[in-house]
């Protein structure tokens, strides 16, 4: 548990750096667009309080989970409790929510820093209602930032937090498919080179437009939205059918003979 908390706190400090702020801005904008059009009653954000993933959500019940009390204290100072209650958890792999009770779950960079990412996903599938949504944010291994991180493992100069085991978007989709989660959409972003200063990140910001158009799968981060499907469940219409008027063997008007 201590290792897991260390990884999450370390990623939070990385978000305060120029590259982290660049990622957070892109993800915040995209999350605002996605969550504004997802309707329901209860939404849950798991981890990473540096990102207010449910800011634009219009659901009446919104919850933010944390693994350590100090993190929760910082969240309470920045997010009003009446809008984003904090649910204290000891382990994301054992979510204290009833089965099929949550409409939306957001995982911002949690699975790649978790010791049991499969178990967390299974818990997410358990608490989601049928047709509920999950949004997953992750770092893309197949990108300029991913290549820089691989080089950093050799040189010892990491660009991204070194504790993370980054999961490719393709692999994440396979995991979701095994849990009967249908991927609806995948967004890639942050196509700029892996610079450490805001000056150079902003100078190459023009690559965002080119990246989305010409090499969309090589963004440094991805955001996957999936829907929980339940086999054998079909949406049906009303059980009643309008009764037909009993007219027996009435003769069509056109065939009547006027006398």
Q: DSSP secondary-structure letter at 254?
A: G
Domain boundaries, the chain: 2-231
Place of tokens 């609806």: 184
Residue 136 β-bridge partners: 107, 224
CA end-to-end span of the chain: 96
Q: How many CB atoms lie within 10 A of CB 250?
A: 9
pLDDT at position 253:
43
pLDDT at position 54:
93
pLDDT at position 236:
53
pLDDT at position 68:
57
pLDDT at position 77:
42
pLDDT at position 48:
85
DSSP-H helix ranges across 36-179: 69-78, 117-127, 144-155, 169-178
pLDDT at position 165:
82
Place of tokens 């954000």: 45
Q: Does the domain spanning 2-231 belong to CATH 3.40.50.150?
A: yes
* pTM for the structure as a whole: 0.80
Mean pLDDT, 10 residues at a time, the chain of 259 residues: 45 87 95 95 90 93 73 42 55 86 95 90 96 96 88 81 84 95 95 94 92 90 96 56 45 47
């Amino acid at each position: 548990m201590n290792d897991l908390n260390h990884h999450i706190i370390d990623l939070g400090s990385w978000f305060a750096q120029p590259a982290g702020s660049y990622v957070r801005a892109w993800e915040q904008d995209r999350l605002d667009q996605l969550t504004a059009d997802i309707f329901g009653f209860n939404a849950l954000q798991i981890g990473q309080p540096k990102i207010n993933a449910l800011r634009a959500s219009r659901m009446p019940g919104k919850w933010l989970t944390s693994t350590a009390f100090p993190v929760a204290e910082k969240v309470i100072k920045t997010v009003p409790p009446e809008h984003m209650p904090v649910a204290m958890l000891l382990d994301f792999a054992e979510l204290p929510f009833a089965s099929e009770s949550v409409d939306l779950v957001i995982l911002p960079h949690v699975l790649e820093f978790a010791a049991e990412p499969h178990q967390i996903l299974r818990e997410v599938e358990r608490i989601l209602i049928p047709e509920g949504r999950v949004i997953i944010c992750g770092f893309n291994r197949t990108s300029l930032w991913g290549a820089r991180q691989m080089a950093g493992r050799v040189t010892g100069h990491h660009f991204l937090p070194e504790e993370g085991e980054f999961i490719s978007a393709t692999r994440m989709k396979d995991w979701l498919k095994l849990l009967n989660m249908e991927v609806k959409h995948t967004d890639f972003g942050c196509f700029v080179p892996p610079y450490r200063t805001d000056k150079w990140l902003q100078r190459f910001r023009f690559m965002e437009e080119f990246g989305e158009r010409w090499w969309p799968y090589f963004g440094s981060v991805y955001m996957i939205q999936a829907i929980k499907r339940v086999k054998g469940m079909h949406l049906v219409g009303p059980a009643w059918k309008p009764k037909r008027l009993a007219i027996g063997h009435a003769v069509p008007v056109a065939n009547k003979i006027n006398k």
